[in-house]
């Protein structure tokens, strides 16, 4: 039997050993989370006017481009977050949702020009956009809580990075779901609201992030 200077710690870890069930593959966990997002979308579809939503989206190209961008961002960010929750995955996974996020933000930015391109559309004013912020936060917070619970099951070695990506997934998912109840066209105000919402959740992540993803303190007494 080989012995070394870490025997005390190793014996303590051995004493603490319990059988564990292997973690489900990241793809499966991503699908579970996206299924819950899809269920929320279905619930919103039943209480909102889907036809009106389609007409609103089709009224201006930036609207449906932004919707596609936020949807793809949500999916790719969720994939990246669950991959990053495993120790042996490369941090480059964090780059996966960035192109879609840039596309989403750019498409929303086009809305700034819509007043000139499509004069008959109604841009959102700041007061109207406040309801969007409340909706985004209202959806994003529970989705984020669920995501954190699922990510904690892994062992993220870069908690801040994974939380930024995770929150990007939640914020973009909430922005996608916003289309169901959005009563007016998005413009620069809407983009500002999105940026504020994303910044808010990222700030919360920065404040609480280190502890949010930490599992229980293993053998603190060792």
Partner 1 sequence: MEGVSTMVVLAAPITTGLTMVDAQTPRPVDNRDRRWGNWMVAAQTGDRTVYETLLRDCTPFIKTVARRQGVSPNYIDDVVQETLLTVHRARRTYDPNRSFSAWLRTIAQRRAIDGLRRQSRNGVWETHAPFAYENHPDPGRDPEEATNQVERTVRLDSAVSTLPASQREAVQHLALREQSLTEAAAVTGRTTGALKVNLHRALKTLRAQLGGQD
Question: Which residues form the interface with partner 1 (CB under 8 A)?
Answer: 1-7, 9-11, 13-23, 25, 85-88, 153-155, 157-158, 215, 218-219, 222
CB of 5 to partner 1, least distance (A): 7
Q: Specify the residue for token string 């620069």.
A: 188
Please give the Cα distance from 181 to 101 (Å, whole number): 22
CB closer to partner 1 out of 83 and 140: 83
Task: Find the shortest distance in angstroms from Cβ 68 to partner 1.
Answer: 33
Residue 129 CA to residue 143 CA, distance in Å, equals 21
C-alpha 84/C-alpha 155 separation (Å) is 9
Helical H runs in the chain?
7-16, 26-47, 50-59, 61-84, 98-110, 114-117, 126-152, 159-178, 188-212
- For residues 4 and 137, the answer to whether their CB atoms sit within 8 Å is no
Nearer to partner 1, 142 or 215 (CB): 215
Closest distance to partner 1 from the beta carbon of 206 (Å)? 17
From the CB of 165, what's the least distance to partner 1, in Å? 17
- 112 vs 155, which CB is nearer to partner 1? 155
Nearer to partner 1, 38 or 210 (CB): 210
Cβ 7 to partner 1 shortest distance, Å:
8
Q: How far is the CB of 16 from partner 1 (least distance, A)?
A: 7
Coil, helix or strand at residue 185: strand
CA 146 to each of CA 62, 126, 140, 150, 200: distance values in angstroms, whole numbers, following the listed order: 31, 30, 10, 6, 18
Burial classification of residue 84, based on how many CB atoms lie within 10 Å of its CB (0-12 exposed, 13-18 middle, 19 or more buried): buried
Which stretches does DSSP call E strand in the chain?
Answer: none
CA dist 217 and 14 (Å) reads: 16
Residue 221 to residue 5: CA distance in whole angstroms: 18
- In the bound state with partner 1, the residue whose beta carbon lies nearer, of 18 and 46, is 18
Name the residue nearer to partner 1 (CB basis): 16 or 130.
Answer: 16
């Amino acid at each position: 039997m080989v012995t070394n200077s870490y025997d005390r710690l190793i014996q303590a870890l051995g004493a603490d050993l319990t059988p564990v069930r292997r973690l489900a593959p990241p793809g499966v966990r991503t699908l579970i989370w996206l299924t819950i997002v899809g269920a929320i979308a279905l619930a919103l579809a039943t209480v909102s006017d889907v036809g009106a939503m389609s007409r609103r989206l089709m009224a201006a190209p930036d609207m449906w481009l932004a919707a596609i961008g936020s949807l793809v961002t949500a999916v790719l960010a969720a994939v990246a977050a669950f991959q990053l929750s495993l120790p042996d995955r490369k941090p480059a996974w964090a780059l996966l949702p960035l192109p879609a996020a840039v596309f989403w933000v750019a498409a929303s930015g086009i809305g700034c020009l819509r007043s000139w391109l499509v004069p008959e559309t109604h841009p959102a004013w700041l007061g109207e956009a406040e309801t969007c912020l409340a909706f985004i936060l209202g959806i994003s917070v529970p989705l984020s809580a669920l995501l954190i619970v699922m990510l904690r099951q892994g062992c993220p070695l870069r908690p801040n990075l994974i939380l930024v990506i995770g929150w990007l997934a939640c914020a973009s998912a909430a922005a996608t779901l916003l289309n169901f109840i959005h009563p007016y066209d998005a413009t620069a105000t809407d983009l500002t609201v999105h940026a504020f919402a994303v910044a808010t959740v990222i700030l919360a992540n920065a404040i609480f992030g280190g502890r949010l993803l930490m599992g229980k303190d293993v053998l603190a007494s060792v």
